[in-house]
Amino acid sequence: MENISKIVLQTDGKRFGYVLDVALEGLDKIGYYVVDDESEGEFLLKNENIFCVADKFLLIGDVSKLEFISSKPDSILMKEVLDEKCNSFGIIEKFEFKRAKCIKIVTSLCEILPKYVKTIGDFVFISSKRKKKVEHIFPRADFDTTVKIQSVPERVVLSSSFYIGKTSDEDIFGFNNEKIVKKGDVITKAVVEKVKKHNRLNQLFFALKR
């Protein structure tokens, strides 16, 4: 998703940390959650305190305006989208914004207009009440057929206990390309929490030794 893992710089040239996740109010972007390299604390960086965004960096103003957060809300990324009949429309991979307004939700299977989102929790529910012609859900360009629940890949909607005790068969890297899981590591609860923080639970699922 846009700008995740970019380095956060201060106007005095010092590095503050990196972008952890996008901060949403509903589906509108109010800023980003960023991590302080020194304290490893997490902060809310609001849009108005961002001076500019480049390929690898975000330049911010007064660091005293960053709001410390004791716990970051769960990311909407990697949540599964369902209609009211529990048909799956894929896993959320990214959002597209025009300024701060969400204009499109992109899943592993399709693209959805945000006005049809009804509730956001452990799953994202969309309206299934629509005319014969589906006007708010668009198949992804890399899919040749209409979205069907049978075409959904293995679902990674599992409790933490599923992963614990299993072994990773490959390396997994975090937001800053740091290695957060090594090949051969036995997965513990602490590893699962770290992987969740970096939004890499999907990669961990497919990396598990079968």
pLDDT in tens, 148-181: 333 334 444 456 777 888 899 888 888 777 888 9
Angle at 142 between CA 200 and CA 117, to 5 degrees: 65
Domain 80-151 - what CATH class? mainly beta
The β-bridge relationship of strands 7-10 and 57-60 is parallel
71: phi then psi, degrees, rounded to nearest 5 = -150, 130
- Note the pTM of the prediction, 2 decimals: 0.56
Q: How many CA atoms lie within 13 A of 29 on its CB side?
A: 24
Q: Residue ranges of the domains in the chain?
A: 7-69, 80-151, 160-207
Share of the chain above pLDDT 70, in %: 83
Q: Do 7-69 and 80-151 fold alike per CATH?
A: yes
Which pLDDT score is estimated for 195?
85
Out of 24-33, 130-139, 150-159, pick the least confident.
150-159
> What DSSP letter does each residue of the chain carry, written as one string?
-TTTTPEEEETTS-EEEEEEEEEEETTEEEEEEEEETTT--EEEEEGGGEEEE-SSEEEES-GGGSEEESSPPPPSTTPEEE-TT--EEEEEEEEEEETTEEEEEEESSEEE-GGGEEEESSSEEE-----SS--SEEE-TT--S---GGG--------GGGTTT-BBSS-EE-TTS-EEE-TTPBP-HHHHHHHHHTT-HHHHHHHB--
Angle at 95 between CA 74 and CA 40, to 5 degrees: 40
- Residue pair 31/102 in contact (Cβ under 8 Å)? The answer is no
Which pLDDT score is estimated for 43?
94
Structure tokens at 159: 């409790």
Q: How much is the average pLDDT of 104-118? A: 91
Name the fold adopted by 7-69: SH3 type barrels. (2.30.30)
